[in-house]
């Protein structure tokens, strides 16, 4: 079914100590469809070199900058050259490498949120749309099989018309001024210049927003945002809530915090419709609870025989053998790869493979950030949510 | 320690098929401090009589109306007469019997919310304050031992200054127009004349609000409310969210719904402070989770030896022998009784016994309803929360 | 439906500080069908008197011994006299008061296990069978609604023929030599003269055994027991396992321990049949999980509309309002009372009311203790399980 | 730290539709330390070729048999040749390829159980001991970080001397005669010639046994086994229980079933010691519960800062980002690789890296099977457990 050769990745970012860079690799490599062949791992050439050694790369393909990577790779024969550029840098280094990668003819996998700001997002949107290359935005949580099951059940009408969406994303790691304690992650994520103007809402609120729309299948039409800086001295929000109204009349509540002291990462979504409800939480990601008004709730489990095609195409173990966060990443990468392979083979990718987040999700996420910041400043309760492209 | 005779209850409401009337009795009777001796169970004399028989009461003390009950009981010698009036009627029949009971010299236990509307609440407030009789408002959830443990831990500074309060109250029983299907509970609770103008927010939002303030020890100073009627044809809200700001600077999110299809009654509260967080859910009521930034979360359990005095005074079984909803009611009634007994004995009740909800909680709850309705009508995001008395 | 007067209890045992005595009262009183009117609370007359005062009893009906109680109560007019004797003493004081109570014409509620030893059990068996009085043995756990639901589902064939029964009862409270630290509970329960020769297996193993047979509907036909004394200096077992074979060919594993350090009281039963499986644990008592081979597991919940008649007759709150251990006791007492009332009224009690543990359960429990001790001494793997009467 | 080149794997088994072959690859590839370069995927050359194409291998290195693989790979220059042979065939094809691989100088990763029978195990034991090559036996569950945390806590005395080990392994997939329905997995696992004489106990009982010894740090000294064939027509056990005694005086209970209808794969272990207890279940693998007699239970979580070195070396995501079954495999492979790399570099591997299961675990597992079968046949309760080598 799949043809001939692994997809060759050139990685931008993911230097020594990076969290998300390593996870992208775990996910991309797991299924044997990708190989890492090149990288510009850090703006510091020494660190880039060090990371290249750790990753056992050919030193001639470890670059001091992504510009160098693009230049040198393009000199290689097409059969050796990288196919995909994966970008795992801070948000201020998303736009430029993504645009260049596309222009040089590489597929792009980019960590979320799309860009540093809304203007970049709008520009990138048109570049991606005009390109014939594939574009993956790693909204991880939409890679979980039971999230996909929820999406499919709702799309197929199992809970009826959606009335209500609750999504909560509690973290606690920024419970103190960690950015003053030499923590790299905390430093850039609380720095408006590298992270953008929305802190918590940009980093994890966008995940929650994406999940709300992805699972419900409904689009937000208005919001009411209330952001907080809970830790004195922090320049951007670390906590907040966004009320939502959807085009179909449903309502929603999105909470996100990085100062819920002691909380880990238990993203949780609950969607209720006219006939039933679905509940999922990330720390128990292999389980989806379905609730019904006059019958016992059901525990749907990943890897079972009774799930729909979306879940089935996004799992690799039988029931009771937990898959996790890395597999969610791997699902995004695997679907991205399957589509590339299918097109190479002149085939039409399965709809289940096309179900990975991309530029439409990206621009909506940046619109979310933009509208949340505006609504937070406003004394008026509701701000219409209109995505400009 | 306790003296001489059981407290004699006269019950108003709780006719055949009533849910909450039976629960009040279970709770009041369990610990052997009360006995039911009289009642006006229904405005329908036949039904009152029927219920009196079911409860094995002396037929001469089963009354056709509470006015009759007051008149006849006062004719009895003081040693035989009722001590306490428990009122478990719809909200439009709270004010009048409560006022009369107090004026006739009876202690009062009243189901929440306090009254039909804010004006009645303000009037009752002054009557209760002027009375030397005890007044219990049955905000059940504050009777759970692990809720009391959470309150005490926060009061003693264990999680530091409170930063954030999440309280959610999802129910699903009104997921359809049940009030059109001959369901008595649904009928009066969706009828503004018997229930008051706030539906879901009056019925369960007030519980959530009370719990938020009770556990956190902080008072709300402003709100932003957003209510919905999810079921066509229903005259009052059945779903909503209230953003909260507290006097100490904390923020909060309160959600309540009776149309979260398939949800039962899983009231859940999470409070995060500068040093840690506490999480509790009613369907797992014997457990309190304490979260800490740099140490394992802890599972605090009812009936153990390591809890504080508030929890200890409000439990009756050792760890692993679940207490539940009825025991939460019983705790309210037991503390109420202990205070009455102590005063009869000329003693000062323990502070742990005084910790039952009363008129101050009641008027704040009615103010909550009033402000939520106003905020919901307003385009301005925040409405100051000011309790008039 | 129920007639005229509360059932009058005379309590034997349950002196100051008793755990189980207080629980019996909570359970018996909760539903308003019983009243406590007399007691011989302790073999120490001073303590009996003290407890009588705490319970607000008429001092003339607080007795120095149960013999005195029987004598004096019989002098009272029948309409004032106790109806039911509840016995909550250590096991060595079960047989004598139970026999006397029955002979004097009182119904009996007795804490488990039935007697101090198997011989007493056999004697009591015939006395109960020959009596026209009701006999309740408080195997608490069979009072839980979801246990009754499991029993009914199995009886109705929902999981097919039973193949396997797992029952585990982990406690940790005797993790050290607590009986040497002036702990009354630990003292008598580890004293063969007051407790009988089986420690853990007598105290909680019998509960587990009862539950296994009660829920599965199958009878044990052979056992293989392996007991331990985990704490040096303790004269009787505090830990053990019993393999079981059932008459229908099913197999089972029963574990019980009081030295599983840190464990509370999480009695757990899992029964698997040819078509499905059921799982329940006491610390989450309002939930029953049903598992199926090709469909999602189901979460059955107490108080819902989809349960069978056995569960429905043994609950008092709607779904999501947890009932607990005290309500399980109350269910036993309520069914016991309903049967007495029905017979008084010349009616046949509902089968659901008759479903409370009695003398047949009691003698099987004592046979269990007897066979476990024998099997534990034997080098032969299997010991046939034969109940002598 | 790690040097130069990925380890090259030649895979034996794992043909089209194989479950465990794909998981081995996912686990081995994830961390970028291995690459798959060759394989003999099936005894059917067509299927081997098909699988090689799916895996995008060089067709010249896809072999019709493992003998061919060994022969051809040895002809390649050492720098291109495979380093590691991974064997994922049915149990009857473990011994021969493992012995040949070692003799040809390849490291070996072998799926459990070690061999078809005890005699092969003893022979292989000496061959492995005499070899200078590394040998990994994939007892997956010992790769989970929280299992390693439990092991380390016990080794460091945190729960005191171990008293009790419970391990249960409930599966339900063989609830019916699936082997008669053209299910490959079921066919070979219930075929004594391919699987060995112990069915359920060989397949999953050995996992449970390994985990019991691995986590507790104690060795079994005697057993009492009771096996069942629950499904008529099946030639070997599909359900059973094994009582255990340990050298240090602890006792244990091991249950395993493949006919617990509806169960998935919730391997669960609980170990209690003199000072506390630890509880873990595979379906919630990122959590370890620690219980204490006089303090709240603790929820230890993977990826946190408070864990020991064993857990820390075996995780890749921060707390709240679930790792799962594939990562457990990956941990085994990563440690195996780290040791190979370290030795290549002339360094001594960290003790945490050496902590992967190997030949000593393998022979104990086969001794377990042998003794379980003997004990099951015996009427004597206890069979001494003596591992012959």
Q: Tens of pLDDT along B303-317?
A: 999 999 999 999 999
Residue with tokens 């203790």: C369
Domain boundary assignment for chain A? 7-133, 143-354+363-376
Alpha carbon of D111: minimum distance to chain C alpha carbons (Å): 27
Distance CA A121, CA A127 (A): 10
- At C367 the pLDDT is 98
CB contact under 8 Å between D30 and A321, yes or no, is: no
This prediction has a pTM of 0.97
B355 touches chain A (CB under 8 A): no
Return averaged pLDDT per consecutive 10 residues of chain C, 389 residues in all: 77 90 96 97 94 95 97 96 98 98 98 98 98 98 98 98 98 98 95 98 98 98 98 98 98 98 98 98 97 97 98 97 98 98 96 98 98 98 96
Is residue D2's pLDDT more than 90? Answer: no
Q: D113 preceded by cis ω (within 30°)?
A: yes
Q: Closest Cα partner for D222 from D111, D335, D385, D32?
A: D385
Question: How big is chain D, counted in residues?
Answer: 389
DSSP category for residue A330:
H
Distance CA B42, CA B44 (A): 5
A293 touches chain C (CB under 8 A): no
CB contact under 8 Å between A322 and D321, yes or no, is: no
- Against chain A, the chains showing at least 3 CB pairs within 8 Å are B, C, D
C-beta of residue B108 within 8 angstroms of C-beta of residue B98: yes
Q: Closest Cα partner for B83 from B315, B333, B316?
A: B333
Query: E strand or H helix at C255, and its extent?
Result: strand C251-257
C-beta of residue B115 within 8 angstroms of C-beta of residue B366: yes
Chain B residues closer than 8 Å to A164 by CB = 230, 239, 257, 259-260
Of D296, D301, D305, nearest to B298 by CB-CB distance is D296
Query: E strand or H helix at C13, and its extent?
Result: strand C7-13
**CA quadruple A205, D325, A288, C167: dihedral positive or negative?**
negative
- At D16 the pLDDT is 87
Q: Tens of pLDDT along B20-49?
A: 999 999 999 999 999 999 999 999 999 999
Of B230, B239, B381, nearest to A224 by CB-CB distance is B381
Of C296, C304, C305, nearest to A298 by CB-CB distance is C296
Phi first, then psi, for residue C71 (nearest 5°) are -60, -50
Is residue A197's pLDDT more than 80? Answer: yes
- At B4 the pLDDT is 66
Distance CA B287, CA D158 (A): 24
CB contact under 8 Å between C322 and B285, yes or no, is: yes
Is residue D3's pLDDT more than 60? Answer: no
- At C4 the pLDDT is 66
A168 touches chain B (CB under 8 A): yes
Chain C residues closer than 8 Å to D258 by CB = none
Token code pair at residue C148: 């009754």
Three-state helix/strand/coil letters over chain B:
CCCCCCEEEEEEECCCCCHHHHHHHHHHHHCCCEEEEEEECCCCHHHHHHHHHHCCCCHHHECCCHHHHHHHHHHCCCCCCCCEEEEECCHHHCHHHHHHHHHCCCEEEECCCCCCCHHHHHHHHHHHHHCCCCEEECCHHHHCHHHHHHHHHHHCCCCCCEEEEEEEEECCCCCCCHHHCCCHHHHHHCCHHHHCCCCHHHHHHHHHHHHHHHHHCCCEEEEEEEEECCCCCCCCCCEEEEEEEECCCCEEEEEEECCCCCCCCCCEEEEEECCCEEEEEHHHCCEEEEECCCCCEEEEECCCCCCCHHHHCCCCCCCCCCCCHHHHHHHHHHHHHHHHHHHHCCCCCCHHHHCCCCHHHHHHHHHHHHHHHHHHHCCECCEECCCCC
Q: Closest Cα partner for C239 from C249, C250, C229, C224?
A: C229
C-beta of residue B269 within 8 angstroms of C-beta of residue B164: no
Mean pLDDT score, D326-345: 97
CATH number of D145-318+364-376: 3.30.360.10
Q: B113 preceded by cis ω (within 30°)?
A: yes
CB contact under 8 Å between A243 and B239, yes or no, is: no
C337 touches chain A (CB under 8 A): no
D319 touches chain B (CB under 8 A): no
CB contact under 8 Å between A265 and D31, yes or no, is: no
- At B2 the pLDDT is 43
CA closest to C291 among chain D residues: D262
Distance CA C90, CA C111 (A): 9
- At A2 the pLDDT is 43
Could you tell me the fold of the domain covering A143-354+363-376?
Dihydrodipicolinate Reductase; domain 2 (3.30.360)
D301 touches chain B (CB under 8 A): yes
Q: Rg (Cα) of chain B, in Å, rounded?
A: 21
Is residue B3's pLDDT more than 60? Answer: no
CB contact under 8 Å between D277 and C263, yes or no, is: yes
C-beta of residue A192 within 8 angstroms of C-beta of residue A285: no
Chain A residues closer than 8 Å to B277 by CB = 172, 260-263
CB contact under 8 Å between D297 and B294, yes or no, is: no
CB contact under 8 Å between D261 and C224, yes or no, is: no
**DSSP codes of every residue in C200-230:** HIIIIIHHHHHHHHHHH---EEEEEEEEE--
Q: A177 preceded by cis ω (within 30°)?
A: no
Residue B17's pLDDT band, with cuts at 50, 70 and 90, is confident
Best mutation target, A175, A257, A321, to test chain D (most D CBs within 10 A): A321
User: Would you say domain C142-354+363-376 falls under CATH 3.30.360.10?
Assistant: yes
Mean pLDDT score, B327-350: 97
Chain C residues closer than 8 Å to D293 by CB = 172, 175-176, 261-262
Alpha carbon of A150: minimum distance to chain C alpha carbons (Å): 14
Q: Tens of pLDDT along D156-199?
A: 999 999 999 999 999 999 999 999 999 999 999 999 999 999 99
C20 touches chain B (CB under 8 A): no
Neighbours of B122 (CB within 10 A): 17
- At B19 the pLDDT is 84
Token code pair at residue B97: 């019997």
- At D249 the pLDDT is 98
Question: How big is chain A, counted in residues?
Answer: 389
Mean pLDDT score, D95-104: 98
Q: What is the mean pLDDT of chain D?
A: 97
Token code pair at residue A293: 């008004």
> What is the per-residue burial (b if ≥16 Cβ within 10 Å, else e) of A277-302?
bbbbbbbbbbbbbbbbbeebbbbbbb
CB contact under 8 Å between C380 and D382, yes or no, is: no
Alpha carbon of D196: minimum distance to chain B alpha carbons (Å): 43
- At A1 the pLDDT is 36
Residue with tokens 């009740």: B349
Distance CA A15, CA A13 (A): 6
Mean pLDDT score, A327-349: 97
Alpha carbon of C139: minimum distance to chain A alpha carbons (Å): 28
Chain A residues closer than 8 Å to B243 by CB = 226, 241, 243
Please give the ipTM for the structure prediction: 0.96
Alpha carbon of A54: minimum distance to chain D alpha carbons (Å): 6
- At D4 the pLDDT is 66
CB contact under 8 Å between B274 and A261, yes or no, is: yes
B305 touches chain D (CB under 8 A): yes
- At A213 the pLDDT is 98
Q: What is the CATH architecture of C7-133? A: 3-Layer(aba) Sandwich (3.40)
CB contact under 8 Å between A253 and B257, yes or no, is: no
Is residue B132's pLDDT more than 50? Answer: yes
C-beta of residue C142 within 8 angstroms of C-beta of residue C214: yes
- At A17 the pLDDT is 79
- At C2 the pLDDT is 43
**CA quadruple B371, B377, B382, B383: dihedral positive or negative?**
negative
- At B1 the pLDDT is 36
Long-range CB pairs of B288-293 (<8 Å, 24+ gap) are B288/B146, B288/B147, B288/B149, B288/B150, B289/D299, B290/A262, B290/B153, B290/B158, B290/B159, B290/D296, B291/A172, B291/A261, B291/A262, B291/A263, B292/A261, B292/A262, B293/A172, B293/A175, B293/A176, B293/A261, B293/A262
B155 touches chain D (CB under 8 A): no
CA closest to B299 among chain C residues: C262
DSSP category for residue D282:
G
- At C73 the pLDDT is 98
- Against chain D, the chains showing at least 3 CB pairs within 8 Å are A, B, C
Mean pLDDT score, D85-107: 98
Q: Compute, in degrees rounded to 10, the torsion defined by CA atoms C50, C51, C52, C53.
A: 60
Q: How far is CA A29 from CA A22, C204, D18, in A?
A: 11, 52, 20
D229 touches chain C (CB under 8 A): no
Best mutation target, D8, D14, D170, D264, to test chain A (most A CBs within 10 A): D264
Q: What is the mean pLDDT of chain A?
A: 97
Alpha carbon of A271: minimum distance to chain B alpha carbons (Å): 8
- At C1 the pLDDT is 36
Best mutation target, D288, D296, D311, to test chain B (most B CBs within 10 A): D296
Residue D1's pLDDT band, with cuts at 50, 70 and 90, is very low
Mention every residue, 6+ apart, whose C-beta is less than 8 A from residue B176: A293, B231
**CA quadruple D57, D59, D60, D64: dihedral positive or negative?**
positive
CA closest to C330 among chain B residues: B30
CB contact under 8 Å between B290 and D298, yes or no, is: no
Is residue D268's pLDDT more than 50? Answer: yes
Chain D residues closer than 8 Å to C274 by CB = 175, 261
Q: Rg (Cα) of chain C, in Å, rounded?
A: 21
Q: Tens of pLDDT along D278-308?
A: 999 999 999 999 999 999 999 999 999 999 9
Of B2, B318, B324, nearest to C322 by CB-CB distance is B324
Q: How far is CA C213 from CA C50, C160, C164, C225, D314, in A?
A: 41, 16, 12, 17, 44
């Amino acid at each position: 079914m799949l043809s001939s050769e692994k997809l060759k990745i050139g990685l931008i970012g993911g230097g020594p100590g990076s969290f998300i860079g390593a996870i992208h690799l775990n996910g991309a490599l797991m299924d044997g469809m990708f190989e890492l062949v090149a990288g510009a791992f850090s703006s510091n050439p020494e660190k880039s070199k060090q990371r290249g050694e750790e990753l056992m790369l050919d030193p001639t393909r470890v670059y001091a900058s992504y510009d160098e990577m693009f230049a040198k790779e393009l000199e290689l024969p097409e059969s050796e050259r990288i196919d995909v550029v994966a970008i795992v840098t801070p948000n201020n280094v998303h736009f430029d490498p993504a645009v260049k990668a596309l222009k040089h003819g590489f597929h792009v996998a980019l960590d979320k949120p799309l860009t540093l700001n809304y203007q970049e997002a709008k520009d990138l949107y048109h570049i991606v749309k005009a390109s014939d290359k594939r574009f993956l935005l790693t909204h991880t949580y939409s890679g979980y099989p039971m999230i996909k099951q929820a999406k499919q059940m709702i799309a197929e009408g199992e809970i009826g018309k959606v009335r209500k969406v609750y999504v909560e994303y509690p973290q606690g790691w920024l419970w103190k001024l960690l950015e003053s304690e030499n923590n790299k992650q905390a430093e850039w994520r609380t720095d408006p210049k590298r992270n953008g103007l929305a802190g918590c809402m940009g980093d994890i609120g966008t995940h929650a927003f994406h999940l709300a729309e992805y699972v419900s299948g409904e689009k937000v039409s208005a919001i009411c945002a209330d952001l907080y800086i809970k830790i004195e001295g922090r320049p951007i929000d670390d906590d907040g809530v966004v009320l939502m109204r959807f085009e179909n009349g449903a309502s929603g509540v999105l909470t996100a915090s990085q100062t819920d002291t002691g909380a880990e990462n238990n993203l949780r979504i609950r969607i209720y419709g006219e006939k039933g409800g679905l509940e999922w939480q990330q720390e128990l990601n292999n389980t989806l609870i379905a609730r019904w008004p006059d019958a016992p709730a059901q525990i749907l489990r990943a890897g079972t025989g009774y799930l729909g095609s979306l879940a089935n195409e996004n799992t690799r173990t039988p029931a009771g053998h937990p898959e996790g966060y890395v597999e969610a990443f791997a699902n995004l990468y695997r679907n991205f790869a399957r589509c590339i392979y299918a097109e190479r083979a002149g085939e039409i990718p399965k709809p289940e493979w096309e179900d990975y987040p991309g530029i439409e999700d990206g621009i909506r996420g940046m619109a979310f950030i933009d509208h949340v910041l505006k609504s937070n400043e406003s004394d008026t309760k509701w701000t219409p949510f209109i995505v400009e492209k």
